[in-house]
Amino acid sequence: MSRISFNKPHLTGKELHYISEAHALGQLSGDGPFTKRCNTWLEEQTGCKRALLTNSCTAALEMAAILADIAPGDEIIMPSFTFSSTANAFVLRGGVPVFVDIRRDTLNIDETKIEAAITSKTKAIVPVHYAGVSCEMDTIMAIADRHGLLVIEDAAQGIMSTYKGRPLGSIGHLGCLSFHETKNIVAGEGGALLINDERFIDRAEIIREKGTNRSKFFRGQVDKYTWVDIGSSYLPGEIVAAFLWAQMEDARRITQKRLSIWGEYQVGLAAMERDGVLRLPVVPADCTHNAHMFYVLFGNLDRRSEAIQFLNQRDITAVFHYIPLHSSPAGLRFGRSHGDMTVTDDTSDRLLRLSLYVDMTEADTQKVIEGLVAFGRSISA
Ligand SMILES: *Cc1c(COP(=O)(O)O)cnc(C)c1O
Residues 173 and 243 in one domain: yes
| Burial of 51 (C-beta count, 10 Å sphere; 0-12/13-18/19+) | buried
Which atom of ligand 1 sits closest to the CA of residue 179?
7
Q: Output the residue whose Cα is nearest ligand 1's atom 8.
A: 180
Query: Which of 189, 216, 249 is the last residue before a domain boundary?
Result: 249
Q: How many helices (H) and strands (E) does the chain have?
A: 14, 14
Which atom of ligand 1 sits closest to the CA of residue 60?
9
Residues 36 and 169 in one domain: yes
Residues 189 and 314 in one domain: no
Residues 242 and 260 in one domain: no
Q: Output the residue whose Cα is nearest ligand 1's atom 5.
A: 57
Which atom of ligand 1 sits closest to the CA of residue 129?
13
Residue 341 has pLDDT above 90, yes or no: yes
The enclosing domain of 342 has a CATH number of: 3.90.1150.10
Task: Classify residue 8: in a domain, yes or no.
Answer: no
Summarize pLDDT for 113-139 with one digit per residue, the tens.
999 999 999 999 999 999 999 999 999
Which residues, 6+ apart, have CB-to-CB distance to 36 below 8 Å? none
Cα distance between residue 149 and residue 348, in whole Å: 29
Task: Classify residue 121: in a domain, yes or no.
Answer: yes
Which atom of ligand 1 sits closest to the CA of residue 85?
10
Task: Classify residue 285: in a domain, yes or no.
Answer: yes
- Say how many Å lie between the CA of residue 243 and the centre of ligand 1: 19
Task: Classify residue 160: in a domain, yes or no.
Answer: yes
Average pLDDT across the chain, whole number: 97
Which atom of ligand 1 sits closest to the CA of residue 189?
7
Cα distance between residue 123 and residue 152, in whole Å: 11
Cα distance between residue 143 and residue 110, in whole Å: 13
Residues 118 and 19 in one domain: yes
Residues 112 and 237 in one domain: yes
| Burial of 120 (C-beta count, 10 Å sphere; 0-12/13-18/19+) | exposed
| Other Cβ atoms within 10 Å of 218 Cβ, number | 12
- pLDDT above 90 covers a percentage of the chain that reads 97
Summarize pLDDT for 346-374 with one digit per residue, the tens.
999 999 999 999 999 999 999 999 999 99
The enclosing domain of 113 has a CATH number of: 3.40.640.10
User: According to the model, what pLDDT value does residue 380 have?
Assistant: 79
Domain of 317 in residue numbering reads as 251-380
Nearest to 156 by CA among 82, 267, 257: 82
Residues 174 and 280 in one domain: no
Query: Which of 249, 265, 300 is the last residue before a domain boundary?
Result: 249
Task: Classify residue 288: in a domain, yes or no.
Answer: yes
SS3 content of the chain, % helix, strand, coil (to 5): 45, 15, 40
Residues 258 and 237 in one domain: no
Task: Classify residue 10: in a domain, yes or no.
Answer: no
- Say how many Å lie between the CA of residue 220 and the centre of ligand 1: 35
Task: Classify residue 282: in a domain, yes or no.
Answer: yes
* 191 beta partners: 54, 178
Angle at 12 between CA 7 and CA 16, to 5 degrees: 110
Number of independent structural domains in the chain: 2
Chain Cα centroid distance, residue 204? 20
Summarize pLDDT for 262-311 with one digit per residue, the tens.
999 999 999 999 999 999 999 999 999 999 999 999 999 999 999 999 99
Summarize pLDDT for 150-207 with one digit per residue, the tens.
999 999 999 999 999 999 999 999 999 999 999 999 999 999 999 999 999 999 999 9
Residues 237 and 282 in one domain: no
Residues 208 and 317 in one domain: no
Query: Which of 249, 265, 292 is the last residue before a domain boundary?
Result: 249
In the DSSP assignment, the letter for residue 355 is: P
Residues 283 and 245 in one domain: no
Helices (H), the chain: 15-25, 33-46, 57-67, 84-91, 137-147, 201-208, 214-218, 238-249, 251-268, 270-274, 301-313, 329-334, 342-350, 362-380
Summarize pLDDT for 133-150 with one digit per residue, the tens.
999 999 999 999 999 999
- Say how many Å lie between the CA of residue 195 and the centre of ligand 1: 18
Cα distance between residue 332 and residue 337, in whole Å: 9
- Say how many Å lie between the CA of residue 57 and the centre of ligand 1: 5
- Say how many Å lie between the CA of residue 377 and the centre of ligand 1: 36
Task: Classify residue 185: in a domain, yes or no.
Answer: yes
Summarize pLDDT for 14-69 with one digit per residue, the tens.
999 999 999 999 999 999 999 999 999 999 999 999 999 999 999 999 999 999 99
Residues 204 and 182 in one domain: yes
- Say how many Å lie between the CA of residue 55 and the centre of ligand 1: 11
Cα distance between residue 43 and residue 196, in whole Å: 10
**Ligand 1 pocket, CB under 6 A:** 56-58, 82-83, 85-86, 128, 154, 156-157, 178, 180, 191
- Say how many Å lie between the CA of residue 29 and the centre of ligand 1: 24
Q: How far apart are the first and last CA of the chain?
A: 27
Which residues, 6+ apart, have CB-to-CB distance to 361 below 8 Å? none
